[in-house]
Copies of this chain bind each other. A is one copy, B any other.
Amino acid sequence: MLATTQEIDPRSGIAMSYPATGRMPRVSPAVIGTSFLGPHEPRATIVTANRDEEIVAQDDDATHCYLIVSGCVRTVRLMEDGRRQIGEFLFAGDLFGWEALDTHDFGAEAVTPVTLRRYTRRDLEQLVDQDRDVARQLREIASRRLRAGREHMVLLGRKAACERIASFLLEMAARTANGEQVIELPMNRGDISDYLGLTIETVCRRLTRLRLDGTIGVEGAKIAICNRHALGLAGSDRVVH
């Protein structure tokens, strides 16, 4: 099922469908513009979700796809016995759900409160069929997701816990990319552990060790990268944005 807390006037175009505050979502127009704006933007419905709310359920029919306007989303696979694997963390500007076949193989949940633009996959397909540039953009998005996925396979298959943590922090630092050395992680330790194939306890312990080493500073969700070189040695790999 689709969980939407607010859904602003789906009938009227985009101009009318900003949140009730009347202000535009706080995201640079460039971010929206980078994906699928073009001359014929498909009809979008603004959707919001609260923290931990489900946006797409695992095995849902793949009727829609989503562009993140603001916030952080995780894609999730739950095994029958409760084991969980997070496929990726997605941020503003990221598109997800377009690549489903018949159903969504992973669910999608809000890590933070999120604002999304929802498109029907039919509309997106139509746009992609019509517009060569959009098609190219979508292929590039696919390439980047594939590359990021394989990078993550190396992490899950061959890296030790400390390397996973280091890689993760570098990845998040590259994404936040505000030039600062302090990053504020939007997700909790449980999300991190399910992304890295570890337990919460191991994540904590490794963070503590890195802190005692002087490599990072830890204060809850705020992580300061004190020694980027040391982190790179531990997690040496390629960050795929």
Residues on A close to B: CB < 8 A?
A: 75, 77, 79-80, 83-85, 87, 99-101, 105-106, 128-129, 132, 135-136, 138-140, 142-147, 149-154, 156-158, 194, 196-197, 236, 238
Contact = CB atoms under 8 A, between A and B. Distances in A.
Given A85-B158, A138-B139, A156-B156, 20 more contacts: A75-B150, A79-B158, A85-B153, A87-B153, A99-B146, A100-B143, A101-B144, A101-B147, A105-B150, A105-B151, A128-B139, A129-B135, A129-B136, A139-B139, A142-B146, A146-B149, A153-B153, A156-B197, A157-B196, A157-B197
A75, A147, A238 — which one has the most chain B CB atoms within 10 A of its CB? A147
Contacts of A106: 150
Given A99-B146, A139-B142, A146-B145, A158 B87 contact: no
Given A80-B236, A132-B129, A236-B80, A153 B143 contact: no
Contacts of A158: 79, 83-85, 197
Contacts of A132: 129
Contacts of A99: 139, 142-143, 146-147
A199 to B, nearest CB: 11
Q: List 4 tightest A-B contacts by C-beta distance, closest first.
A: A157-B197, A156-B156, A149-B149, A142-B142
B101 A150 contact: no
19 contacts: A75-B150, A77-B154, A79-B154, A79-B236, A83-B158, A87-B153, A99-B147, A100-B143, A101-B143, A129-B135, A138-B139, A139-B139, A146-B146, A146-B149, A149-B153, A152-B153, A153-B156, A157-B194, A158-B197
A132 B158 CA distance: 39
Contacts of A144: 101
A225 to B, nearest CB: 22
A78 to B, nearest CB: 10
Nearest to A197: B157
Contacts of A136: 129
Nearest to A105: B147
